[in-house]
Structure 1
C-alpha cells in the first residue's frame, strides 16, 4: 500500500511539473500592482490575505501555481464563473506577474477553531489512511503545508471552508484541473468527516 501511494505521488509530481512548465518564468510583481488594486482586491484583499472564508488566501502562495490556476480559469479547464470573467482579459505575462506579486506577500497566520477536529485532521495530513488508500497530505504539500515549488501549492493557513470546498469539487469531478486526476482520486476515497477534519487542521498551520 505504501509503495502504491508513493507511486501515485511520484506520478503526480511528474504531471504537475509538465503542466507548470509554461508558467515557470519569473514574473514582475510591480507590473501586477494595478491589476491587484482594481480587480483582485475586492475578493482577495490588497495583500492577498482574504478575510472571506469562501475566497482563498493568495499571500505566500507559490507563484507558478497562481499563474497555472489563472491560465486554467481563462481556458475553462478550471470552472468558476467569477474567475473566468476575471481571468479573461489577463495575458500570460499578467498571470506570471500576479503570481510573483502574491507569492512575495507574507501570509497571515491562520487558526483552527475546533481543536478536536484539527487533531483528527493532523493524523490524516501526516499519516494518511492506509485502510482506504488515502495518502498523507504532507507527502505532496510538505509537513508544514508550505507546498513544493513549483509542483504542489501552499496550503498552510488557508481558510478551512475553502479547502473543504475544493476537496468536495475534486471528489465530484466539478474541479478537474489536477493533471493525472491525482486529487480527484484521493478525494474520492475520503469521507465527509475526513475532509472537514483535514481542512480544519490545515487552517491552523502556519
Structure 2
C-alpha cells in the first residue's frame, strides 16, 4: 500500500480543517493538546490516531458502550460528520511517538510474541510491529505505540476488570483477563516508548 493511501485511510472522509475548528470550539484541544499530544498522563494522545477509531470511541461514549463522565458529556451533541471531522483533524497530526529509553524486555516479548501457552496473541499482530495501528476490513486497530503509559495501564486494567467492553468481539477483555498486574505494567512501559 502506498504511503498516500495509508494517510488517506488514517484521515478517512472527514475534513481536518473543519475538525480543527470543531476540536477547538468543543474544547477537545484543552485536554488532548493542539497537536494531539496531551500534557496530562491520564489523558490519551490522539496525534496520528485513525479517524475511524476516534469516531467509534465518540459514538461509544454517546451510546454508553464506553463510559467516562466527561467524555460522555463532550460527545453527546456530536453528529456523525462532527465525529469524522474531529477524528480527521487528530489523524492528520504527526503520529505520536514514545521517548524510547530503556526497553522493558518482558513487555517487548509479550508485545512481539504473546504467550501461546496462555492463548495470548502478540499485540503486534493487530497493532502493528511498532504499535502504529492498522485497518483490516472494517476493524480499526488503534495506534498504541507512543501512547501515555498511565493511560495504557488504565485501559488494560479496565479491560481486565470488565469495566471497558467496547473492543471488537470483546477481544481486549479476553486478552487482558489473562495478563498479570506485572505484565500489564511491562506492556504499558514498553508500548509507551515506541
Measure how far apart 1:108 and its partner are: 4.3
Which residue of 2 is the match for residue 165 of structure 1?
A: 154
> After TM superposition, where is structure 1 displaced by more than 6 Å over at least 4 residues in a row?
none
Normalising by structure 2, report the TM-score. 0.88
Residues 42 and 25 (structure 1), Cα distance of their counterparts in 2 relative to 1, 3 Å cut:
closer
Normalising by structure 1, report the TM-score. 0.83
Conserved? CA contact 1:125–1:136, under 8 Å: yes
Give yes or no for the alignment of 1:146 onto 2:132: yes
Give yes or no for the alignment of 1:91 onto 2:79: yes
Conserved? CA contact 2:12–2:88, under 8 Å: no
Equivalents in 1 of 2:12, 2:36: separation in Å? 21
Which residue of 1 is the match for residue 17 of structure 2?
A: 30
Give yes or no for the alignment of 1:52 onto 2:40: yes
Residues 107 and 148 (structure 1), Cα distance of their counterparts in 2 relative to 1, 3 Å cut:
closer
Q: How does 1:1-206 map to 2 (within 5 A)?
A: 26-38=13-25, 39-112=27-100, 115=102, 118-149=104-135, 151-205=140-194
Measure how far apart 1:179 and its partner are: 2.5
Gaps of 5+ in 1: 1-23
Which residue of 2 is the match for residue 9 of structure 1?
A: none
Gaps of 5+ in 2: 1-10
Equivalents in 2 of 1:108, 1:141: separation in Å? 14
Equivalents in 1 of 2:51, 2:114: separation in Å? 27
**Alpha-carbon RMSD:** 1.6
